[in-house]
Chains A and B, each alone.
Chain A
Amino acid sequence: MQMTMSPTARLILAAVIALLALAAPYVIYPVFLMKALCFALFACAFNLLIGYVGLLSFGHAAYFGMAAYITAYSVKAWGWPTEIGILAGTAVAAVMGVVVGVLAIRRHGIYFAMITLALAQMVYFFCLQAKFTGGEDGIQAVPRRPLLGVLDITDNHVLYYVVLAIFVAAFAVIYRTIHSPFGQVLKAIRENETRAVSLGYRVERYKLMALTLSAALAGLAGSTKAIVFQLASLTDVQWQMSGEVVLMTLVGGMGTIFGPVVGAFVIVGMQNYLAEAGEWVLVIQGVIFVVVVLAFRRGIVGELAPRLARLVRPGAQATDTPQPARLTSDAR
Chain B
Amino acid sequence: MKKGLWTSCVAALLAATPAAAQVSDDVVKLGVMNDQSGLYADITGQGSVIAARMAVEDAGGKVLGKPIEVIFADHQNKPDVGSSIANRWIDAEQVDTIVDVPTSSVGLAVQQITKTKKRIFLMSGPASSDLTGKACSPYGFHWTYDTYMLANGTGNALVKAGGDTWFFLTSDYAFGHALERDTGAAVKAAGGKVLGAVRHPLNTSDFSSFLLQAQASKAKVIGLANAGGDTINSIKQAAEFGIVSGGQRLAGLLVFVTDVHALGLKTAQGLVVTESFYWDLNDETRAFSKRFMEKSGGKPPSMVQAGVYSAVAHYLKAIKEAGTDDADKVAAKMREMKVNDFMTKDGEIRIDGRVMRNAYLFQVKKPEESKGPWDYYKLLATIKPEDAFRPLDQGDCPLVKK
Interface residues of A (CB under 8 A from B): 29, 31-32, 35, 125, 128-129, 134-138, 140-141, 156, 225, 229-231, 233-236, 271-272, 275-279, 281-282
Contact = CB atoms under 8 A, between A and B. Distances in A.
21 contacts: A31-B84, A128-B202, A137-B105, A138-B79, A140-B109, A140-B135, A225-B80, A233-B105, A234-B105, A235-B78, A235-B80, A271-B76, A272-B81, A272-B84, A275-B74, A275-B76, A276-B73, A277-B74, A278-B37, A279-B37, A282-B37
A79 B339 CA distance: 41
Interface string B39-59: 001000110000000000000
Interface string B84-121: 11011001100000000000110011001000000000
B124 interface: no
A278 B72 contact: yes
B109 A231 contact: yes
A129 to B, nearest CB: 6
A135 B79 CA distance: 13
A138 B107 CA distance: 11
Interface of B: 36-37, 41, 45-46, 71-81, 83-85, 87-88, 91-92, 104-105, 108-109, 112, 128, 130, 135, 172-175, 201-202
A326 B78 CA distance: 33
Nearest to A38: B80
A305 B91 CA distance: 36
B112 A230 contact: yes
The 5 closest A-B CB pairs, nearest first, are: A135-B174, A279-B37, A278-B36, A275-B73, A233-B79
A188 to B, nearest CB: 38
Contact of B76 (A129, A229, A281): A281
B89 to A, nearest CB: 10
Contacts of B73: 275-276, 278
Contacts of B174: 128, 134-137
Contacts of B202: 125, 128
Given A278-B36, A279-B41, A282-B37, A129 B83 contact: no
Given A137-B104, A233-B80, A275-B85, 14 more contacts: A32-B84, A35-B80, A129-B173, A135-B175, A136-B174, A136-B175, A140-B79, A234-B105, A235-B77, A236-B80, A272-B88, A275-B74, A277-B74, A278-B72
A135 B172 CA distance: 10
A35 B175 CA distance: 28
A103 B400 CA distance: 52
Contacts of B104: 136-137
Contacts of A276: 71-74
Given A129-B172, A235-B79, A281-B76, A29 B92 contact: yes
A198 to B, nearest CB: 46
A136 B177 CA distance: 12
A128 B173 contact: yes
Given A137-B108, A278-B72, A282-B37, A31 B88 contact: yes
Contact of A229 (B80, B92, B128, B175): B80
Contacts of B79: 138, 140, 229, 231, 233, 235
Given A235-B79, A276-B72, A278-B72, A138 B105 contact: yes
Contacts of B83: 229-231
A272 B135 contact: no
B88 A29 contact: yes
Contacts of A140: 79, 105, 108-109, 112, 135
A230 B79 CA distance: 10
A275 B74 CA distance: 5
Nearest to A271: B81
Contacts of B105: 136-138, 140, 231, 233-235
Contacts of A32: 84, 88
Nearest to B178: A135
A107 to B, nearest CB: 26
A222 B75 CA distance: 19
A136 B75 CA distance: 16
A279 B173 contact: no
Nearest to A28: B92
Nearest to A131: B174
A275 B80 contact: no
Contact of B81 (A128, A230, A275, A278): A275
A275 B41 contact: no
Contacts of A271: 76, 81
B305 to A, nearest CB: 15
Contacts of B88: 29, 31-32, 272
Nearest to A30: B91
Contacts of A134: 174
Contacts of B81: 271-272, 275
A277 B76 CA distance: 12
B173 A278 contact: no
A229 B110 CA distance: 11
